[in-house]
Amino acid sequence: MSYHLYQTKGIVLGNANVGESNRYYHIFTKDLGLVVAFAQGVRELKSKLKYHLQDFNYISLDLIRGGGSWRVTSGKEESGFENGLKDKSKLKIIASITTFLKRFLHGEERNEPLFDEILSNFSFLSKETLDTEMEKDFEILLVAKILDKLGYWGGNSETKKIIELPTSEETLTMFPQHRSEFLKEVNRAIKESHL
């Protein structure tokens, strides 16, 4: 029986070990949405795939679907936001956002605008030097952008304008005067989502 090969890009959100050498991965893909994919033998020393399938990596990958589940057949790390993974405070933000994504993404539903938003924001974070307050504001703003792309945002027109702007240092300097509105709306959206 032949299987269709799906080629896409994705961000590794997390993993879970299975048996002695296998692992399941949560991967937010550009073309398929969130997939949970099995990688056989990936924890073995000889595995070439394990270095590419690290948590939070941006990757190109090949997947096949068989028996109701996904399997990773190959993967390669892409350049994008790897510098953010080397900085402890930026890594903490990326980890927090990926945990948030795992909570709010359900099933295989393509959401290319959300994928592009995450990728561009992680790239911005990895390239820019932000102080502690700006990093906190960045995280709140990105959570708001995610909630907006998923249809949970109901904030006022001013917060909506800020969400629609590309993330930049200029956007982050405007943010503090609206921080309390954003926090209030983020908390409301999370509560009403029941997730």
Q: What is the mean pLDDT of residues 109-125?
A: 97
CATH class of domain segment(s) 5-77: mainly beta
Q: How confident is the model at residue 1 (pLDDT cuts 50, 70, 90)?
A: low
CA distance 139 to 129: 14
Give the residue among 102, 79, 80, 89 at the shortest CA–CA distance from 28: 102
Q: What is the mean pLDDT of residues 154-167?
A: 92
Q: Domain extents for the chain?
A: 5-77, 82-193
Residue 155 pLDDT greater than 90, yes or no: no
Q: What is the mean pLDDT of residues 125-134?
A: 95
Residue 80 pLDDT greater than 90, yes or no: no
Q: What is the mean pLDDT of residues 169-174?
A: 95
Residue 71 pLDDT greater than 90, yes or no: yes
The total of other beta-carbon atoms located within 10 Å of residue 187's CB is 10
CA distance 175 to 138: 9
Burial class (CB in 10 A: 0-12, 13-18, 19+), 1: exposed
Tell me, what's the pLDDT at 132?
A: 96
What is the bridge-based pairing of β-strands 5-18 and 58-66? Answer: antiparallel
